[in-house]
Structure 1
Amino acid sequence: MQVQAYPSWPPSPAGSRQSMSIISTFLHLLLLALPIHGIDVDLDNDDSVVMTARVLAEGVRHYYTGDRPGGIPGYLPPPYYWWEAGPMFGSLIDYWFYTGDSTYNNIIIQAMLHQASETQNFMPANQTRVEGNDDQCFWALAAMAAAERRFTDPPPDQPQWLTLVQGTFNSQAARWDMETCGGGLKWQIFRFNKGFNYKNTISNGCFFNIAARLATYTNNHTYAVWAEKTWEWVQRIGLITPDYYFLDGTDDLKNCSQLNRNRWTYNAGIFMLGAAHMYQFTNGSEIWKPACKTSSTPSTSSSTKAPTSSTNPPAKPTTNAQPTSSPSKPTSRAGWPPRCKFAPSRRRGSCPSCAPLPPAPPAPAPSAPTARSARRSGMSASSRAAQGWGS
């Protein structure tokens, strides 16, 4: 199969020793998520796949300046957000795993340990005033991948990858909010940040994901209990619909009675991987089998414009908007399905329990874009301020 793609330079992160078919799948999805612009890759040729992954990894390295004089390890330069570096390093860990190329291992270790913070849970002092639960968890997902992949261990006097994931999990479990909506994680950690009263799907999905993966990694049932609790809450509130559409979030000031129906593929992807781990942990429980329908869920995250969804009209386009974070959403989701090889769907290359989904439900009344969707769509700071959202 010949795929010609011309990703804008430098390219976005790519995943990349266990199976060329898996990296081919990942690479195919990634290339579909990139703007069209200059790499020829033959997905049936191992050398071609590895070479393309190498080119993409070099592009990621071009973005990153945190290991250079004056740079901060783990930081991407403006206009990129702090959270985006977490998935970037996670993708470089995948690249090492699939190709055996350790070129970037040292900078990965340096960056992740620097951002791990003294509290060993990815809450560095210079981010804590603006950091959300999802931001924190995106870094923990990279550490979880490092543990699962048996990536190079940190020095003995430094926290190990599992410690960092557990630290993140413990801090987020302590934030489980029973005061409103019968549970759930808020988007924001601190009350003074806009969006504190928003319980969004990605924050809860990230928490579900690391709980499920910690369960399979440690064989500790406590993590599985938390994963089940989170899934059940998101489902009860309606953020997971009966047809496995994943909605954006809900306002806890209204007791989560009104849902923001914007949809992003990374919500589907993060729940799909977590559900695959729960399927494995429970030895094939039927509860988790239908969750692989998320692999087919239509979404709108491939849009790099102002927030839109297939059920809502487009938000008014903003000026001064060169999107930097919305393109990372489909890339994030592209990295998760190939890891689900132990789920029932992966045993035969496709998901036998995932019948084609019905058409999207009728469009509800338009809802306003969320703070996070505004940030990740590339909405300018002035536009966000005009909407009443923080940066």
Structure 2
Amino acid sequence: MRFTHLVISSLTFIQSLALDLDTSDSKSICKAASTIAQGALHYYDGSEYGGSVGCFKPPYYWWEYGVAFGSLIKYQHLCEDNTHENLVYNAIVSQMGDDKNYQPTNQSNTEGNDDQATWGLTVLEAAENGFKSPEQDGHPSWTQLAKNVFDAIYKRWDEDSCNGGLRWQYEESRGGYNYKATVANANLFQMSARLARLTGETKYVDSAKEIYNWILGSGLAHEGEWGIEVYDGSYTDDNCTDVTKVLWTYNYGVLLAGTAYLYDVTKDEEWKDRTSKIISGSQILYNNTVLYERACQTYDICNTDQRVFKAIYARYLAIAAKLIPDTAETVKGLIEPSAEAAAQSCSGGSDGVTCGLNWNIDGWDGKYGLGEQLSALEIIQNLLVTDRDGPKKHN
């Protein structure tokens, strides 16, 4: 939510507005989620005069817009509240691009493989959760749009370096072209697993296995003593032999959801085991049972992108509990304390319900932004994931 400096005389009033969350009560959860979602939309540009439909205000990047709309689709499903449906629908339709694969011309100078795949995952949220259909307006279905995104990215699979994998950027002129980022590959892996489940087409099972095997074989994910660790990426300059072993929440989340979806498709216990091991490995990301972006929060250096990573992890951790009920108790233990901590952090700003970044301290930490709102939204609304219908699938 928009930040304005507080004055001493308003502190009592602001404290009275802080979110009140009962993690066992769906009405309380959705009331809190509604407040946070509305706060996230204070950063949206598309509803204002002169603004761009589908875009948030600077300093946020296009990929984070996709995360935001995915979170709002999830909110509509979990809380059965369609307040934002038309806004979200118009936004995601506006960004599909001339080729209907989420390569819009307004993002042609900045879009990378991970950005495009993030939007592919957003339209998969729409397809799986029965969101308002674009076909009524003459557009391809959400499923077809996701297929288009997958096809556009998968054709960039690069066998000429590191024995495969996607580069972070797909244009050679952009910084990061020589980096094979885990998130780009894990996003494509998850897209493939979800398309396999949604369409019943075995080619997506095959591609998902290929992508996962490359991630594991290249060292971007590693099975250690406490579970599977997920690293950030590696450079083509040295044939991907020197892995950047930084741990980010979103890399864990994207990968574990892909393995959970693939288990649901194949019923192969190997994928269930991998999901459990990634969840176990992700517990290093917690600080006293509360989710913590350790790589940057430890030093108070989280940038605009990094502040939304916890939202992605929370969404995908939760879906694993729905797809693999054996993990539900573990997932609940990882989500509930963080949801309580996130709610009490949403006590800042001039409105008294702006969410912070650090959930480990008592109250608001003075940080604010779209990433902070989305992270709190996802960790709180996904308390309901096992109580609602699961994602739709091919019959």
Q: Which one of 41, 58, 62 corresponds to residue 82 of structure 1?
A: 62
* Change over 3 Å in CA distance of 1:223–1:85 after alignment to 2: same
User: Contact 2:249–2:293 (CA<8 Å) still a contact in 1?
Assistant: no
- 1:210-221 aligned at under 5 Å gives the runs 210-221=191-202
User: Contact 1:215–1:281 (CA<8 Å) still a contact in 2?
Assistant: yes
Find the counterpart in structure 2 of residue 258 from structure 1: 242
Find the counterpart in structure 1 of residue 152 from structure 2: 171
2:256 paired with 1:272: yes
* Change over 3 Å in CA distance of 1:191–1:309 after alignment to 2: farther
Three-state SS of the structure 2 residue aligned to 1:78 is coil
Displacement after TM superposition at 1:342 (Å): 4.5
User: Contact 1:289–1:344 (CA<8 Å) still a contact in 2?
Assistant: no
Find the counterpart in structure 2 of residue 32 from structure 1: none
Displacement after TM superposition at 1:146 (Å): 0.5
Find the counterpart in structure 1 of residue 35 from structure 2: 55
User: Contact 1:275–1:292 (CA<8 Å) still a contact in 2?
Assistant: no
Q: Deviations for 1:141-178, whole angstroms, at most 9, x for unmatched residues?
A: 11000000011111341122112111110011100000
Three-state SS of the structure 2 residue aligned to 1:242 is strand
Measured in 2, the distance between the counterparts of 1:133 and 1:222 equals 21
Matched to 1:299, the amino acid is L
Measured in 1, the distance between the counterparts of 2:328 and 2:216 equals 28
Find the counterpart in structure 2 of residue 302 from structure 1: 292
TM-score when normalising by structure 2:
0.74
- Structural RMSD (CA): 2.6
Three-state SS of the structure 1 residue aligned to 2:292 is coil
Three-state SS of the structure 2 residue aligned to 1:110 is helix
Displacement after TM superposition at 1:285 (Å): 3.2
2:286 paired with 1:286: no
Displacement after TM superposition at 1:91 (Å): 0.6
Measured in 2, the distance between the counterparts of 1:328 and 1:120 equals 26
Matched to 1:169, the amino acid is F
Find the counterpart in structure 2 of residue 159 from structure 1: 140
Displacement after TM superposition at 1:269 (Å): 0.5
- 1:131-142 aligned at under 5 Å gives the runs 131-142=111-122
Three-state SS of the structure 2 residue aligned to 1:129 is coil
2:329 paired with 1:349: yes
Displacement after TM superposition at 1:344 (Å): 3.4
Find the counterpart in structure 2 of residue 65 from structure 1: 45
Find the counterpart in structure 2 of residue 389 from structure 1: none
TM-score when normalising by structure 1:
0.74
* Change over 3 Å in CA distance of 1:277–1:303 after alignment to 2: closer
Measured in 2, the distance between the counterparts of 1:174 and 1:137 equals 13
User: Contact 1:302–1:327 (CA<8 Å) still a contact in 2?
Assistant: no
Measured in 1, the distance between the counterparts of 2:293 and 2:328 equals 31
Three-state SS of the structure 2 residue aligned to 1:278 is helix
Matched to 1:64, the amino acid is Y
Displacement after TM superposition at 1:309 (Å): 9.5
Measured in 2, the distance between the counterparts of 1:142 and 1:287 equals 23
Q: Which one of 24, 28, 33 corresponds to residue 44 of structure 1?
A: 24
Q: Deviations for 1:200-250, whole angstroms, at most 9, x for unmatched residues?
A: 100000000000000001011101111100100010011111121101000
Find the counterpart in structure 2 of residue 360 from structure 1: none
Find the counterpart in structure 2 of residue 187 from structure 1: 168
Displacement after TM superposition at 1:130 (Å): 1.3
Task: For structure 1, list consecutive stretches of 5 or more residues without a partner in the other structure.
Answer: 1-7, 11-36, 352-376, 378-391
2:124 paired with 1:147: no
* Change over 3 Å in CA distance of 1:309–1:57 after alignment to 2: closer
Three-state SS of the structure 1 residue aligned to 2:126 is helix
User: Contact 1:210–1:274 (CA<8 Å) still a contact in 2?
Assistant: yes
* Change over 3 Å in CA distance of 1:121–1:100 after alignment to 2: same
Measured in 2, the distance between the counterparts of 1:134 and 1:339 equals 20
Displacement after TM superposition at 1:38 (Å): 2.4
* Change over 3 Å in CA distance of 1:71–1:99 after alignment to 2: same
Q: Deviations for 1:253-295, whole angstroms, at most 9, x for unmatched residues?
A: 2111111111101111111111001111112332442332222
User: Contact 2:100–2:148 (CA<8 Å) still a contact in 1?
Assistant: yes
Find the counterpart in structure 2 of residue 15 from structure 1: none
* Change over 3 Å in CA distance of 1:344–1:109 after alignment to 2: closer
**How many residue pairs were aligned?**
312
Measured in 2, the distance between the counterparts of 1:153 and 1:348 equals 31
Measured in 2, the distance between the counterparts of 1:139 and 1:346 equals 29
Find the counterpart in structure 2 of residue 129 from structure 1: 109
User: Contact 2:2–2:42 (CA<8 Å) still a contact in 1?
Assistant: no
User: Contact 1:248–1:263 (CA<8 Å) still a contact in 2?
Assistant: yes
Matched to 2:69, the amino acid is F
Q: Which one of 209, 224, 229 corresponds to residue 228 of structure 1?
A: 209
Measured in 2, the distance between the counterparts of 1:38 and 1:299 equals 26
Find the counterpart in structure 1 of residue 309 from structure 2: 329
Displacement after TM superposition at 1:54 (Å): 1.0
Q: Deviations for 1:298-355, whole angstroms, at most 9, x for unmatched residues?
A: 2389348xx6599xxx6xx87xxx832212001111111221235435465337xxxx
Q: Deviations for 1:363-390, whole angstroms, at most 9, x for unmatched residues?
A: xxxxxxxxxxxxxx9xxxxxxxxxxxxx
Find the counterpart in structure 2 of residue 356 from structure 1: none
Matched to 1:107, the amino acid is L
Q: Which has the higher helix share?
A: 2
Measured in 1, the distance between the counterparts of 2:274 and 2:311 equals 24
